[in-house]
Structure 1
Amino acid sequence: MIAAGALVALAGCSGEDAGGSAVPTSAAAEPASVDIAVADGAVDVSPVVPLEIAVTGGELTEVAVTDITGATVPGALADDTTGDDETQVWEPETPLSYGSSYTVTATATNEDDKETTERSTFGTVTPETLSTPAIGPLDGQTVGVGMPIRVWFDDPVADKAAVESHLTVTSSTPTDGVWNWFSDSEVHFRPSTYWPANTEVTLDADLYGVDFGDGVWGEKDRSVSFSVGDRHVSVADAATHTMAVHDGDELVQTFPMSAGGPEFPSRNGPHVVTEMNRHRVMDSSTYGTPVDSPNGYRTPVEFAVRLNDNGEFVHAAPWSVEQQGRENVSHGCINLSTERAKWFYEFSRPGDVVEIVNSTGPTLSAADGAIYDWAIPWDEWRAGSALT
């Protein structure tokens, strides 16, 4: 009886093992999902829009971009900079063109190596106007510590923040520099104090594909590199009638001079040298005073170092040598003897600073044209940024 029962039990166990369960079969993997950020049928797309492709449930295996003729656009997937492991960016070797049509074809495979392909055809914007700004200083130029970076646009910039965000300044000695918009078509960059001497500066104006607003788009990218030379800051004191000239931290000259007289006082504040002329004819009509009026003049001078667009220069004035160091008799200029003016002319370069102090005149301002950047208080300057 025991043996029989054991046999029955053994048989029951064997039957369950033989026919009760089969080897489990894996379910088919879900298809990969491909999402192209630029929607199919999109128009007026910037030619530099990131071509982002997101894949879930699989791996991106191929991306191809073709133009309207079907020709392949050279490019490749870039290293992931999005922080999203599922998203990659395809970058062309050269930027896409304005006013063109492109098709992005992206293929991904899931765990079973089954492919999923998505396509997006889009059109890039056709600008009403293309704009390339002028930039100063010029590429390769060496300037003084007071020279701001100045950018001028032919057309008004409606979206200043978009443009400013694509103007990147780097320097070998870091600064706290900020952009300030002087108008809809002019923006300047400067630090809170004069540039550090002997600094290399680069402006990258990456404006191709940037929407300036009102139908205006950036025509191309530009890069300008320049050098800031030695620190030349002179102080022209209208009260003591002297000009102290510094080379770096060293006082190298103290010149007797004559500033603007009571009727034509010199402007106070930091002036920036913008132009130098070995010979120049001083003409009062260039700033609104007719030559034939009582206060008019047309006078040839030597060694003229321009300080603004309102007629102020440092220049040779042999006719006022007796007043130099004693009283102010000029029409706003800093008068020096010919020998001293020659020395200063040879010492100077565009971007050097002449700070006029203790004049009875007003502070340098927009009314004087040229560069009055350093006369603007730093907080006010920073407020002029579109990104503040």
Structure 2
Amino acid sequence: MISVSPADGTKKAAFTSPVTVTVTDGTLASVEVTGNDGSTLEGTLDAAKTTWTSTTHPYSGTKYTVTARAAGADVAQTTTFVTKAPGETFVGYFTPEANSTSGVGMPVSIDFTHAVSDRAAVEKAITVTAEPAVEIVGHWFSDTRLDFRPETYWAAGTTVTLSLRLKDVEGTDGVYGTQSKDVTFHIGREQISTVDLSAKRMVVRRDGATLATYPVSGGSAEHTTWSGIMVISERFEETRMESSTVGLGDEYDISDVPHAQRLTTSGTFIHGNYWASTSVFGSQNTSHGCVGLHDAKGANDSSVPGYKFYAASMLGDVVVVKNSGERTVDPANGLNGWNLSWADWKAGSAL
């Protein structure tokens, strides 16, 4: 006699334990477990060949058919069961987008829709691989954010694959992941721009060679610019900037800031500036914390530095700010985990 667990006809079977098939008289010749989603469950026989156990758990919300045959039997025995749906679920929203091309500083950043208490289980279910191969490690910035990066910037031309195997992973008590997918994105050319706010200039280097040098204006003594390594996380040909959104009252409200590229979540941008005198750039730091380049109103004058730098940039490009008179930016403030040493980065992994 062959018995199957979950039993034949079960409507709300658990998906948190393996499927087992046992024969009480003789040995098992074959076992197949297939889901209505086309998946199959692999398994192993014990030494006596009387018990088969699936090596992974069944998926939630899936109907399974178990076909088992005992040695010497002419007919296989077939049973079915349906696993219950998870109650509460979570997903991870990831950056960068699938099939996109980014600069060499772009980490893989995942924001979860529910706080994760079992960080090890969730991190184990996510892998990031690169071609050419390089060691990539995860770092938890909070119970809802997990980033991945290599020790140094990605090599230009790298292909990166994010594999999410979160389906039915219990992130916290009774809350399960739903995603099982692979996402690929690409790394373009290497562009690293260094802003020296003592010299008030920015040197843009691409693939190791100097592409351009621009006069800039950074944060004033009262509103210093964060120092450290920052990564472009958003780009706007034109955007509105209001001082009230960054805790500075009604000091400014500019509806059409040209060529704005975000460097921190807290509101640091490198952007074009048409309202300051041209003489400011390269000679004075006058901003409220952003890095400004001379630009033209309307964002369509291709001869000005703001336009040129924007046109030469992409998401994931690196901007390094030094001599700003301010401390290093918090690594969690934007996609700026490069400010952590490799040892400190790895210490933030749950694995």
> Is 1:301 paired with 2:235?
no
> Is 1:316 paired with 2:275?
no
Change (3 A) 1:276 1:45: same
CA distance in 1 between counterparts of 2:63 and 2:257 reads 61
Deviation by residue 1:110-163 (Cα, 9 ceiling, x = unmatched): xxx479999999874542202222111111111111111111111111211111
Does the 8 A contact of 1:34 with 1:116 survive in 2?
Answer: no
* TM-score, L = length of structure 1: 0.75
Which residue number in structure 1 is paired with residue 310 of structure 2?
345
Letter of the 1:46 counterpart: F
Change (3 A) 1:105 1:370: same
Give the fraction of aligned pairs with identical amino acids, expressed as a percent.
34
Change (3 A) 1:126 1:115: same
Give 1:93-242 correspondences, 5 Å limit: 96=58, 98=60, 104=66, 106-109=68-71, 113=72, 124=83, 126-242=85-201
Change (3 A) 1:46 1:354: same
Match of 2:30, SS?
strand
Letter of the 1:63 counterpart: V
Deviation by residue 1:342-386 (Cα, 9 ceiling, x = unmatched): 10000001110100011101211168x322211122211111111
User: How far apart are residue 334 of structure 1 and its match?
Assistant: 1.4
Gaps of 5+ in 1: 1-32
Q: From the two aligned structures, give the one with the greater strand fraction.
A: 2
| Residues matched between the structures, number | 338
Give 1:258-269 correspondences, 5 Å limit: 258-269=217-228
User: How far apart are residue 289 of structure 1 and its match?
Assistant: 1.0
* TM-score, L = length of structure 2: 0.82
Gaps of 5+ in 2: 296-303
CA distance in 2 between counterparts of 1:185 and 1:131 reads 10
Does the 8 A contact of 2:227 with 2:328 survive in 1?
Answer: yes
Match of 1:270 among 205, 222, 229: 229
Letter of the 1:373 counterpart: G
Which residue number in structure 2 is paired with residue 334 of structure 1?
291
Letter of the 2:316 counterpart: G
Does the 8 A contact of 2:331 with 2:337 survive in 1?
Answer: no
Match of 2:236, SS?
strand
Does the 8 A contact of 1:206 with 1:221 survive in 2?
Answer: yes
Change (3 A) 1:103 1:276: closer
CA distance in 1 between counterparts of 2:232 and 2:39 reads 47
Which residue number in structure 2 is paired with residue 359 of structure 1?
324
Does the 8 A contact of 2:118 with 2:171 survive in 1?
Answer: yes
Which residue number in structure 2 is paired with residue 46 of structure 1?
15
More moved, 375-384 vs 196-205: 375-384
Does the 8 A contact of 1:242 with 1:255 survive in 2?
Answer: yes
More moved, 268-277 vs 83-92: 83-92
